[in-house]
Amino acid sequence: MKEFKILAIIAALVGITYYGIEPYAHHVMHPEVKAADFTFGDLKNVDTKLAGNVANGQVLVEANCLACHAIEAAGHPAMMPNADAAASYGVVPPDLSHAGRIYDKNYLANFIFDPVTAMKLSHKYPAGGAKTFPMPAYNWMTPQEIMDVVAYLQSVSPKVAEGQEAHKATYDAACGRCHSMAYAKSEATTPKDAIKAYMGATPPDLSQYIKSRKEHYLHGFINDPQLLLAGTSMPRVGLNEKAQEEVIAYMEEIGDSKKAERESVGLWVMLYTFVFAILAYLWKRKIWSEVH
């Protein structure tokens, strides 16, 4: 009985200390921010209830977008090598094959209307300032035209098998132009010098970001970078919730590939240790019965 009391005191002291240095301290260092908003409710320039016309969308896209953007999935490969594209625009313009699948509809429509506002990069590209974003705003299009474009992009988006294939496809499309991932043996598609000049600093390699930032932070950050890192050059990319989960899943596959094994082995080891402890207790009781 006395030994339980001693154990309780130790548990209490350790528990209080643990609370102070982990949950409490982390709360102080990283205060909670607004939850992720996957409706992108701050963007209201386009009426997304309008039904888009795919055929008209195709016409608009072919007339306006193919000058800079490739759409492999619709048979429109990149016009020039990445290095040249980066030299021309500052960054490699994204291939739009997956855009319809991975970007939120409301975001995508508002992005086309006004890219800088959608990306929350007004601090980097102030209106009337010296620096202009390489993609112009399409606010001269009617809301119907913009929804037609969105509908077309959604229609050409290739089906990807659930799981690893989807994870990698989404990650490459959403993040691969700027971020390298050494552990996946991939470099950013925009050459290093170009992306550094374009962004102001080299976007970090994401190989271990699942371990250094963890899922909770990434969930909030990708949805709205400015909320957690005010002033950052990283655009709000507008991923829908499913696409964002795919990106995080890919980061886990590359950065913490042994997670499943760790959790499975862990359960077996704990079970074994429990059996060991019970047997040790029984042996101890037998030995000590002779001396009490």
Provide the binding-site residues for other proteins, judged by CB under 8 A: 2-3, 6-7, 10, 13-14, 16-18, 20-22, 24-25, 28-29, 182-183, 200-201, 207-209, 211-214, 231, 257-258, 261-263, 265-267, 269-270, 273-274, 276-281, 283-284, 287-288, 290-292
CB nearer to other proteins: pick between 161 and 267:
267
Shortest Å, Cβ 278 to other proteins:
8
Distance of CA 100 to the CA centre of its chain: 17
Question: Quick check: helix, strand or coil at residue 273?
Answer: helix
Shortest gap between Cβ of 291 and other proteins (angstroms)?
A: 5
Least separation in angstroms between CB 184 and other proteins: 11
Q: Which residues pair with 103 in a beta bridge?
A: 239
Token pair for 193: 């010098």
Q: Given the complex with other proteins, which of 3 and 162 has the nearer CB atom?
A: 3
Closest approach of other proteins to the CB of residue 236, in Å: 18
Contacts of 66 (CB under 8 A, 6+ apart): 76
**CA distances (Å), origin 137, targets 113, 167, 255:** 6, 30, 37
- Ordered DSSP codes for 90-107: SSPPPP-TTHHHHB-HHH
Question: By C-beta, is 10 or 80 nearer to other proteins?
Answer: 10
Cα distance between residue 84 and residue 265, in whole Å: 49
Shortest spacing between CB 206 and other proteins, in angstroms: 11
Under DSSP, the state recorded for 181 is B
CB atoms within 10 A of CB 259: 12
Residue among 162 and 261 whose Cβ is closer to other proteins: 261
Q: CB-wise, 159 or 292, nearer to other proteins?
A: 292
Q: Tell me how far, at minimum, the Cβ of 285 lies from other proteins, in Å.
A: 8
Query: Judged by CB, which is closer to other proteins: 51, or 287?
Result: 287
Dihedral class, residue 236 (left if φ above 0, else alpha if ψ from -120 to 50, else beta) = beta
User: What is the three-class DSSP state of 128?
Assistant: coil
- Rounded CA gap, 195 and 3, in Å? 63
